[in-house]
Homo-oligomer: A and B are copies of this chain.
């Protein structure tokens, strides 16, 4: 009778940190949890606002995020026109793409994505080994196209 152990995202993170000779520190765990608690991509600034209240340093948030990107725990995304946000990637959260409203800026996640075959075809020929994809559909959301809304 085998007992299938639960493997949490945090366990995977710990493992991945150790494998790369990075230490498992409270700061890294806190940033990770903060990322988990957000559905949409978040800026460093937003994370810091939440975490510095608990005594975590802003510089540390930057450094932790740098490590997370290097270890493919999180990746950057463009929010709006100039802002870079971060979000967890697989296996820390399911893969998804974005529907971005160009009027109000709202970002909706799309989890159902039947693009894998088509995307694989697109990458053929160049000899690329595709690791992940990111699709952004820009348009106007239902709400903004109904009311005469002109901005956030």
Contacts and interface: CB of A to CB of B under 8 A. Distances in A.
Given A135-B134, A137-B128, A138-B134, A118 B114 contact: yes
Using C-beta atoms within 8 Å of the partner chain, give the interface range for chain A: 35 or more
A1 interface: no
A129 B140 contact: yes
A108 interface: yes
A7 interface: no
A77 interface: yes
A29 interface: no
Interface stretch (A18-26, A51-59, A97-105): A97-105
A111 B55 CA distance: 49
